[in-house]
Amino acid sequence: MSSKNFDKMAGNATMRSLLIVFIIATPIWSQKIAVKGETVYTMAGDPIQNGVVLIKNGKIERVGPASSLNIGSDYKILSNKIVTPGLIDAHTVVGLAGYYNQKHDQDQLEKSDPIQAELRAIDAFNAREKLVEWVRNFGVTTIHTGHGPGALISGQTMIVKTNGQTVNDALIKPTAMVAFSLGPNVGRNFKSPGTRAKGVAMIRTALLKAQNYAKKMQNKKEDKRPDRDLKMEVLAQILSKELPALITAQKATEIMSALRLANEFDIKIVLDGAAEAYLLLDEIKAAKVPVILHPTMVRNRGETQNASYETAAKLQQAGIKFALQSGYESYVPKTRVILYEAAIAAANGLAFEDALATITINAAQILGIDKRVGSLEKGKDADVLLFDGDPFEYTSHVCTVIIDGKVVSDECR
Taking the domains of the chain in order of start, what are their residue ranges? 26-85+375-413, 87-373
Q: What is the pLDDT of residues 167-185, one digit of tens each?
A: 999 999 999 999 999 999 8
What pLDDT does residue 102 have?
86
Those residues whose C-beta lies under 8 Å from the C-beta of residue 352, and which sit 6 or more positions away, are 346, 392
With bands split at pLDDT 50, 70 and 90, how would you rate the model's confidence at 154?
Answer: very high
Residue 267's pLDDT band (cuts 50, 70, 90): very high
Given this model, what pLDDT does residue 25 score? 44
DSSP alpha helix (H) spans, 154-251: 167-170, 184-187, 196-217, 230-239
Is the pLDDT score of 13 beyond 80? no
116 vs 9, more confident: 116
392: which DSSP letter? Answer: T
Q: What is the C-alpha to C-alpha distance for residues 351 and 336, in angstroms, rounded to an integer?
A: 21
pLDDT band at 163 (very low <50, low <70, confident <90, very high): very high
pLDDT of amino acid 134: 95
Task: Write out pLDDT tens, residues 50-88.
Answer: 999 999 999 999 999 999 999 999 999 999 999 999 999
Please provide the average confidence, as pLDDT, over all residues in the chain. Answer: 93
Q: What is the per-residue pLDDT for 245?
A: 98
Closest CA relative to residue 303, chosen from 181, 203, 147, 199: 181
pLDDT of residue 12: 52
Q: How far apart are CA 148 and CA 123, in angstroms?
A: 14
CA nearest 90: which of 311, 268, 338?
Answer: 338
Of the chain, the end-to-end C-alpha distance in Å amounts to 50
Least confident of 140-149, 204-213, 216-225, 385-394: 216-225
Domain boundaries 87-373, corresponding CATH code: 3.20.20.140
pLDDT at residue 274 in the model:
98
pTM: 0.92
Q: With pLDDT > 90 as the criterion, what percentage of the chain qualifies? A: 88
| pLDDT confidence bin for 7, thresholds 50/70/90 | very low
Q: Does 29 score more than 80 pLDDT? A: no
Q: Distance between CA atoms of 161 and 404, rounded to whole angstroms? A: 9
Read off φ and ψ for residue 59, nearest 5 degrees: -120, 160
Q: What is the tens place of the pLDDT at every residue in 295-326? A: 999 999 999 999 999 999 999 999 999 999 99
Residue 115, beta-bridge partner list? 153
CB 398 within 8 A of CB 413: yes
Q: Is the peptide bond before 65 cis (omega within 30 degrees of 0)?
A: no
2 band by pLDDT with thresholds 50, 70 and 90: very low
Q: What is the pLDDT of residue 135?
A: 96
3-class SS letters over 268-280: CEEEEECCCHHHC
Cβ neighbour number for residue 307 with a 10 Å cutoff: 23
Q: How distant is the alpha carbon of residue 67 from its chain centre?
A: 35
Whether the per-residue pLDDT at 18 is higher than 70: the answer is no
User: How much is the average pLDDT of 11-36?
Assistant: 57
DSSP bridge partners of 83 = 40, 386
| Span 80-138, pLDDT tens digits | 999 999 999 999 999 999 988 888 899 999 999 999 999 999 999 999 999 999 999 99
How far, in Å, CA of 293 to CA of 321, rounded?
10
Q: Residue 224, exposed/middle/buried by CB under 10 A (0-12, 13-18, 19+)?
A: exposed
pLDDT band at 329 (very low <50, low <70, confident <90, very high): confident
pLDDT of residue 14 exceeding 80 = no
Any idea which fold 26-85+375-413 has?
Answer: Urease, subunit C; domain 1 (2.30.40)
